[in-house]
Structure 1
Amino acid sequence: MLPVDTEFIPARAVAARAAPALAVLEMPGRQGVGFIVSPWGYLVTNLHVVAGAEEVHVLLADDQLVQLEEVIALDEKRDLAVFRLPDHEVPALDLSPEKHPGEGDMLFLLLPAGGGMLGLLETRVHAIQVLDESLTFLELEAALPEDASGGPVLDASGALVGVATCAFADGRPITIVIPARYVMPLMEQSGTQPLSALAMARPVASRQRHVPSHPISLLEGSPTDGIEDIALSIMQAIQIGAPTYNRGDPEGCYRLYARTAERLVQEHSDCPGAQSALREGLHRCTQLSDADERAWALRDTFDGLLHVIDRWLQAQAAFARMAAPKSYLQ
């Protein structure tokens, strides 16, 4: 294993220690990234990077090009794939499933930068997200190039934290980390599968969001205190509803969102544009039979309103600054 100190080390040293374990995956029509986590040649990447590939070649740090033949394990839920390189002993990262960074902690993403060069992306943990009882992941502040998905994420001591993964939320790309603790059980599975197993493998598809994009004129004529009350009520509902959903209770989440939307419709006739958007979201829910879909329909409604309210409040502040009386030195 590559040695790791417990003290903080410079970013350049983090890259130097991890570089021998980085691998570039070459498939017909596309490339990806992976890394070695065992001197016996176990290679880890995201499942979506290799799903459907009929052949996969691996370019190692020493410029050797080898062809993958054995699949050790595929995890569609967590978007992970583990392979074994044929007859190669290579420097490997130390798999440390005990590493649990918190919000604000510094992390490093190692990625190929082309021409045999390496890139090291420095970022921090934006949030810890609990999808359900089977998956907790880290959301990072920095954006990762989509073709760099599957690379290693390291902490400030150089220890492996997990797998860098490109995902989507609210219709925009985000970078998440699948923690290393989910990789260890995959490596311990007995038996192997042929590479043809990739043809049937598909990671869980990301949810398609339908967040409405409202013009700022939607809120024209609305009082500032009314708009601020709507935004605060929506944010409070999400703060309670999202954890409820993540605990496996989409019906409870939907009921909370629906009560909030119905109350705001009743109380804010002074904000007809926002009132109309909320009514439209509630009406959409009447056409959906699944609690999960209804919860997301109202979350989309809420996010669309929060986006336009943020733009509207910024515009109001700008107008106020422009209209403020100015004093001049005589």
Structure 2
Amino acid sequence: MSDDVQARRARAEEALRGTSASLVLLDLGGHTATGFVISSEGHVVTSLHAVASARAITAVLPDGLRSPVVRVAAVDERRDLAVLCLSVPELVPALPLGPATLPSEGEALHIIQAHADRPPESRVLEVRAVQVLGEWLTLLELSRTLPEDASGSPVLDARGQVVGLATAALANGRALGLVIPVRYIAPLLKVPGPPQPLSALDAPRQRATRVRQVPQHPVGLLEGCATPAVESVASLLGQAINVGAPAYNRGDVEGCYRLYAHTAEQLIDERDDCPGVQRALRDGLLRCEGLKHVEDRAWALRDTFDGLMDVIGRWRQARPAPLTPAHKRPPPKTYLN
């Protein structure tokens, strides 16, 4: 065995020993996840998606003691993080979080996973890429995938510092192993207000299973509208979606909703020549009034816009094609290859 391999194994064993005392296995009644204690008050951080559908959570401590988890300290939906409250905080030491500096591509990291029937397991994986998804999230993609029950595991660098939380993810049908950096974990300990019941974990699950309610309008909705007016409506709706959707994906849900609402109000004010369009947009804004979360309101207006774009598309197909004068030849084709 080479000195390099021996050194890596020694570092992995040291990381495992130093971390195991702070690991918590989360038994969710059918599946498990890993969490780790990050404060002397017994705050346990884990992956939100792993606990979002839980009706009961039991924390299995390193000594085998089982303790129910009944309180949630904080939730960060955009970064897939949840902080739970242990009922017996004094029994598990906190694992200090490392600096906010990100590991580099190619750097080896240790993922420490808790198990129900055997000692904790250490995996050594390299950073494949540093992914910047926008101002709201920068994460690390690992060189290999992770099992789902590894979600919530602490991730350590070669110096034994906690650099993030591991999560098993799926993107575009491809399984990924990701790390959410510690820079997003520490602020969750400062979230104001008292702890919430486990039902605080239900909102992400409910919104993840959102059912689209796109209106199905008859083509008659556009009766009496001149062609330039319809095309102007389609252009403005398309512009709003092209700007609002990327804003939503960056995490600016409020900005997306404000843009959609402003566009709807603008068309209602300007398009007296398209009463059907005005009526559909008023219905969309009325639907928003009954929704509590800004994310739901943004989707309600997106449904409204998509319903109008759909009927405009069918309206275009139903109209006769313009006649081309016989004496006028079409312009020559331009080929790109």
Q: How high is the TM-score relative to the length of structure 1?
A: 0.58
Query: Would you say the 8 A contact 1:76–1:201 is kept in 2?
Result: yes
CA distance in 2, matches of 1:51, 1:21: 22
Q: Which residue of 1 aligns with 2:129?
A: 127
Query: Would you say the 8 A contact 2:100–2:181 is kept in 1?
Result: no
- The 3 A distance-change label for structure 1 pair 85 and 114 is closer
Q: Write the mapping of 1:207-218 to structure 2, written as runs, cut at 5 A.
A: none
- The 3 A distance-change label for structure 1 pair 205 and 109 is farther
CA distance in 2, matches of 1:194, 1:112: 25
Q: Write the mapping of 1:47-196 to structure 2, written as runs, cut at 5 A.
A: 47-89=48-90, 90-190=92-192, 191-196=194-199
TM-fit CA distance, 1:38: 1.3
Query: Would you say the 8 A contact 2:114–2:153 is kept in 1?
Result: no
Does the residue aligned with 1:61 lie in a helix, a strand or coil? Answer: coil
- 1:148-175: CA deviation from partner (whole Å, max 9, x where unpaired): 1111111111110111011123412110
CA distance in 1, matches of 2:174, 2:53: 24
Q: Which deviates more from structure 2 when the two are superposed, residues 194-203 or residues 18-27?
A: 194-203
Q: How high is the TM-score relative to the length of structure 2?
A: 0.57
- 1:175-209: CA deviation from partner (whole Å, max 9, x where unpaired): 00001110111111122111121222339869xxx
Q: Write the mapping of 1:294-313 to structure 2, written as runs, cut at 5 A.
A: none
- 1:246-302: CA deviation from partner (whole Å, max 9, x where unpaired): 996xxxxxxxxxxxxxxxxxxxxxxxxxxxxxxxxxxxxxxxx99xxxxxxxxxxxx
Unpaired runs of 5+ in structure 2?
Answer: 1-7, 210-245, 251-304, 307-337
Q: Which residue of 2 aligns with 1:285?
A: none
TM-fit CA distance, 1:115: 2.1
Q: Does 1:29 align with 2:30?
A: yes
- The 3 A distance-change label for structure 1 pair 38 and 49 is same
Q: Percent identity?
A: 42
CA distance in 2, matches of 1:21, 1:11: 16
CA distance in 2, matches of 1:97, 1:41: 21
Query: Would you say the 8 A contact 2:169–2:175 is kept in 1?
Result: yes
- 1:210-233: CA deviation from partner (whole Å, max 9, x where unpaired): xxxxxxxxxxxxxxxxxxxxxxxx
Query: Would you say the 8 A contact 1:32–1:149 is kept in 2?
Result: yes
- The 3 A distance-change label for structure 1 pair 122 and 185 is same
CA distance in 2, matches of 1:137, 1:48: 16
CA distance in 2, matches of 1:97, 1:184: 10
TM-fit CA distance, 1:97: 4.0
- The 3 A distance-change label for structure 1 pair 143 and 112 is same
- The 3 A distance-change label for structure 1 pair 114 and 25 is closer
CA distance in 1, matches of 2:201, 2:100: 30
